[in-house]
Structure 1
Amino acid sequence: MDQPVAKMGTLPEVEKFKANPREIKNQVLKRFLKRKVSIVGGIIIIIFVITAIFGPLFAPYDPLQQDLANNFQGASAEHWLGTDNLGRDTLSRLIYGARISLEISMASVGLALIVGLVLGVTAGYYGGKIETLIMRFVDILLAFPGILLAIVIVAVLGNGLVNTMMAVAIFSVPDFARIIRASVISLKEMEYIEACKAAGASNLRIILRHIIPNSLSPVIVQTTLMMGTAILTASGLSFIGLGVQPPNPEWGAMLSKARELLRSAPLAAIAPGTAITLVVLSFSLVGDGLRDALDPKLKN
């Protein structure tokens, strides 16, 4: 007599074996809070975001307002961080510059994440000639150093805020695509993915409900790190005159103009340089903390 064959579980039965999301979040938060430097970095990022959003409401002066009679002023009660070569208040320009830096980082990294996610998931899940074609394109972009590729893109597209965002986004795509592809390749061989296929789930359903959600840990870490890299790259482009153009108060452009004032008005250069350093370092510290928190292997 034939032995009874076990029936393959239906898709809802396959999907019910999921870890408790609340428990996972608590464990991740607990591991993250153990890293004090990451907490400090997070506090600085929160201050940076609040300044970018609400700072212009309490900025003491218009960042474009010129006062040539009071240029090269040092720190005073009227101008806490002094003035630049055109008499513009350095603190006000620093506050408004935070908004521009936040716009560049969020827009460019968000665009790079979307494009990299599509390329990485498509290449990793379907493989074959599609993967070869996508990854060769990614390798071409990786052949150029990041800042050099951004310079080339801006040189082709032209200067300006939008083109700076596009340049930073394009050079960030390969990192996202490679990380996501690696995660997808390892995930698609898992038993629960095979069970979903056997239960009749479509490729789109598997990708949206299982592949992408379980690939988010390295993506979150990379996104955090790229936020700082985007700010640094945009500031570098503006510093050499290829990014956001004056008189817009972008930190890199401010630093470029202030390098001529190091003797007469050092605060004009120290303030934007310190802001760039603190924000980029903070994103790096938070990214390291998230990497440790999201990877159970590193919890000890």
Structure 2
Amino acid sequence: MDRTFRCDLRRLFVRTELRNNGVVKNVREQAEGREAVDTTAPAGSSRERVARSILDHGPSSAADLAVRLGLTQAAVRRHLDALTAAGYVTSREQKVYGHRGRGRPARVFLLTDSGRSTFYQAYDQLAADALGFLVEAVGGGEQGKEALVAFARARLARDGQRYAHQLGDCSDTEAKAQALAGALSADGYAATVRSAPLGEQLCQHHCPVAHIAEQFPQFCEAETELFSQLLGTHVQRLATIAHGDGVCTTFVPRAAPPPQHERHTPETTSTTDSTAASGRNPA
């Protein structure tokens, strides 16, 4: 790991047990009811909470973060400025669907690759190197790709058994998607479900294997297949963190309602006509 990056990481996210000076507050800012900005903020501090909230909920505005974390917008913006300066956070205009009102569009903040890497588990590169070696060991090319697909499916099959159990007897699409999101969140994917026209969007705000999936997209493809099997319908991957998107988004189409058959009101007929029509479907 680059020495400069290690130093920046230590400065922003150093553990409390290693350094306690992050708890010292600026007296003047406390008197003004504002939160001091400490570049040696320990883990669990407001600055890390801001980064974690963006990780868990995806692109967020300063107002969203303030409400979510119980901080003032001014405090949130100072933390965002520090994270942006360190290269852990970037911003863009908020996407607006439908008619946009007057005024400048709000800006939302999202984690950069460097920001996400601070939350990833160690040995990502070791795993990527091992997979690359195995691909070459079986011959590379199409054989290597097939081996990767088989490995990805086998790895996810174990998770799929647990997820299927948690889906239980869910019948409608929304209930299945919500149950799957809960199961994924328990495994560190920070998943949520939001309604969309004609279906649901299953959003994974964190991907513990994003660095691996970036190099080996077979993992994303196998996961999409698993979702389709668990939800009992064809799903569509709209975005992935591995491809540089802020959130992994999967569209789950809502099941079409059963066709409604027209009800025919029987007309009053004679006994002879009724008997003659018995056993036949009405025209």
Place the TM-score, normalised by the shorter chain, in its bin: under 0.3
In our comparison, the structure showing a higher alpha carbon Rg is 2
Greater share of residues in strand: 2
Q: Does 1 or 2 have the higher relative contact order (CA < 8 Å, sep 6+)? A: 1
Q: With structure 2 as the length reference, what TM-score do the two structures score?
A: 0.27
Q: With structure 1 as the length reference, what TM-score do the two structures score?
A: 0.25
